[in-house]
Amino acid sequence: MTESLTAVINLDVAGPQISRHVYGHFAEHLGHCIYGGIFVGEDSDIPNVRGIRTDVVEALRALDIPNLRWPGGCFADEYHWRDGVGPREDRPTVVNTHWGNVVEDNSFGTHEFMDLVDQLGTEPYICGNVGSGTVHEMADWVEYLTRSGEAPMSSLRRANGRDEPWKVKFWGIGNESWGCGGNMRPEYYADLARQYSTYCREHDGNKLYKIAGGANIDDYHWTETLMKTLGDLGCGCNPRHFFDAISLHYYTFPGEWEPKHPAIDSDADTYYDTMRSAWRIDELLTRHGNVMDVYDPAKRIGLVLDEWGTWFSVESGTNPGFLYQQNTMRDALVASVHFDSFHRHADRLVMANIAQTVNVLQAVLLTDGDQLVKTPTYHVFEMNKGHQDADSLDVAWIKEPVPTREVNKVTVPMVSASASTKDGSALVSLSNLDLEESRTVRLDLRGRGVTAVAGRILSATDIADHNTGATPEAVAPAAFETGAVDGGILTVELPAHSFVTLSLTLA
């Protein structure tokens, strides 16, 4: 049985711009994200440019990835950047205590990361070490990366083979300082963030966008404490003196925190609970935003969700410290629900980073030797890329309420949607989260005429369907037929557990 839902979209009433940076990525020295997944070394049989996998670069370029966060994560607060510069044979080895207790040989360091960023055509987002580093060490790293001329760190960079400084905008001041980044209390961290930020200098006009390490999930006290340290915003002074943005971390998983659920799972209860968890991002963005509004009603300080994604149990036979999990149609719907929420919060959310890009948690790419698989999550990033830097459009449900489902005492909407407009077109994203029911959705398109519609769909026979080296296209986008727009109404039939995008050409 199908129900009819109607959503009004005023194509001529543009809301806040959706920053392209909410389609950001995160690559940590964790398992096979960097080593094997991105960096294989120049001598590898796997095609590479200066050690960086060609297939991975090609796949990520097709997503127009706007930024890449590195080197962690928890690893960032144990990372000492000097270990990763200079001749490789002279670089020290260290133990990656967070992730598998494996030996890190530092063969992928600052120059290799900036080469990767260059090959991807993306912007670097570097997370500095507050937990076990020093103010001096962080200040030197900024100088090493961004200063020209004769100065101690620019001379060292030159001696290591790079003459020109790089441009680096996004700078993280520690990671999860409430946990793996030092187990600090917010009051203590807030002062440290001010101190570290003070010495991250802007060399040669390189404008830093400093991101303070923010809250875990619903720790609103952490957000409030950081906002308070910005001082009296009524004073007319620049509130961005210490940092430009505050981060937030939120992972999606069914049940209580404990990664015990397999990534490949058709169980309906677990699926709906995963959707409950995915929808929670909307509440968190609203509530953290509300706290920030009290101190910064003009929304000059950004919110950066620099870790998000699903967290399931690792695949059997893999190192538990490597966080390697498969990625199914269920992950795709988790991603689409997140993006809809990101678009709705475009006024405050300035960046988001999927955890993580390759081979870790909700990866967009999985590698196995020389094989590369694009996951269902990859396809959501690709189908949605037209939202990058577009103006958000409100999607207002009328007449019929959006169907919901009670899941562990939470009312979970079964349809998710968002829309945006850019360059004479509009993009509408629609997700039907119901495992059984298809949904007829009527889009009441007002304010502009629509001359053409191009639809695409990502769907699967089973919610646990996924891609492998043997079946790389098991879950892949296909053309989605719609009728013509009739009197401003476009009617679409969303199959169960599917994700659809509609590109509208505007008159």
Residues marked active site are found at 176, 307
Contact 433, 441 (CB under 8 A): no
Q: Quick check: 74 binds ligand AHR (CB under 6 A)?
A: yes
Judged by CB under 6 A, the number of residues near ligand AHR is 10
Judged by beta carbon, residue 212 or residue 426, the one nearer ligand AHR is 212
Closest separation in Å from C-beta 507 to ligand AHR: 45
Q: Are 464 and 266 in contact (CB under 8 A)?
A: yes
Nearest residue (CB) to ligand AHR, 355 versus 441: 355
CB of 499 to ligand AHR, least distance (A): 24
What is the Cα 23 distance to its own chain's centre?
A: 6
CB under 8 A, 24+ apart: contacts of 112-119 = 112/39, 112/50, 112/51, 112/52, 112/84, 113/70, 113/71, 114/145, 114/162, 114/166, 115/50, 115/52, 116/38, 116/39, 116/52, 116/57, 116/68, 117/68, 119/49, 119/52, 119/57
Tokens of 459: 């769907």
Q: Write down the least CB distance from residue 309 to ligand AHR, Å.
A: 8
> In this complex, which beta carbon is closest to ligand AHR, that of residue 28 or of residue 265?
28
Subset of 354-383 contacting ligand AHR (CB under 6 A): 355-356, 361
**Residues of this chain, 11-40, that bind ligand AHR according to CB under 6 A:** 28
Q: How far apart are CA 253 and CA 304, in angstroms?
A: 20
Binding segment for ligand AHR (CB under 6 A), chosen from 50-58, 69-77, 325-333, 451-459, is: 69-77
Q: Residue type at 438?
A: S
Task: Enter the tokens of residue 371.
Answer: 């094989």
Please list every residue from 244 through 263 that binds ligand AHR, using CB under 6 A. Answer: none
Query: How far is 91 from 74, CA to CA, in rounded Å?
Result: 21
Coil, strand or helix at 396: strand
CA dist., res. 451 & res. 424, Å (int): 11
Residue among 18 and 211 whose Cβ is closer to ligand AHR: 211
- CB nearer to ligand AHR: pick between 265 and 307: 307
Q: Check residue 73 for interaction with ligand AHR (CB under 6 A).
A: yes
Min CB(383)–ligand AHR separation in Å: 24
Q: Whose Cβ is closer to ligand AHR: residue 98's or residue 330's?
A: 98
Q: Applying CB under 6 A, which of residues 51, 66, 72, 124 lies at the interface with ligand AHR?
A: 72
DSSP 173: E
**Piece in contact with ligand AHR (CB under 6 A), picked from 70-78, 110-118, 395-403, 491-499:** 70-78
Q: How far is the CB of 425 from ligand AHR (least distance, A)?
A: 35
Per DSSP bridges, beta strands 396-398 and 4-10 are antiparallel
Q: Closer CB to ligand AHR, residue 272 or residue 308? A: 308
For ligand AHR, give the closer residue by CB, 326 or 356: 356
Closer by beta carbon to ligand AHR, 285 or else 361: 361
- Contact with ligand AHR (CB under 6 A) among 19, 110, 175, 177: 175
Question: Quick check: 78 binds ligand AHR (CB under 6 A)?
Answer: no
Task: State the nearest-atom distance from the C-beta of 326 to ligand AHR, in Å.
Answer: 17
Cβ 260 to ligand AHR shortest distance, Å: 17
User: If we measure between CA atoms, which residue out of 13, 6, 14, 15 comes closest to residue 444?
Assistant: 6
CA-CA distance, 56 to 64, in Å (whole number)? 13
Using H for helix, E for strand and C for coil, what is the string for 442-485?
EEEEECCCEEEEEEEEECCCCCCCECCCCCCCCCCCEEECCCCC
Shortest distance (Å) from residue 367 CB to ligand AHR: 18
Q: Which residue in 176, 273, 331, 340 binds ligand AHR (CB under 6 A)?
A: 176
Structure tokens at 141: 């790293």
Read off φ and ψ for residue 58, nearest 5 degrees: -60, -45
Closest contact distance (angstroms) between CB of 4 and ligand AHR is 41
Of 3-11, 72-80, 237-245, 274-282, which part binds ligand AHR (CB under 6 A)? 72-80
Nearest residue to 307 via CA among 351, 262, 353, 257 = 353
Partners of 366 in the β-ladder: 373
Residues 172/76, Cβ–Cβ less than 8 Å: yes
> Which residue of the chain is nearest ligand AHR when measured via CB?
73
Tokens representing 328 are 């199914």
Judged by CB under 6 A, the stretch of 131-139, 353-361, 387-395, 497-505 that binds ligand AHR is 353-361
Binding site for ligand AHR (CB under 6 A): 28, 72-74, 175-176, 307, 355-356, 361
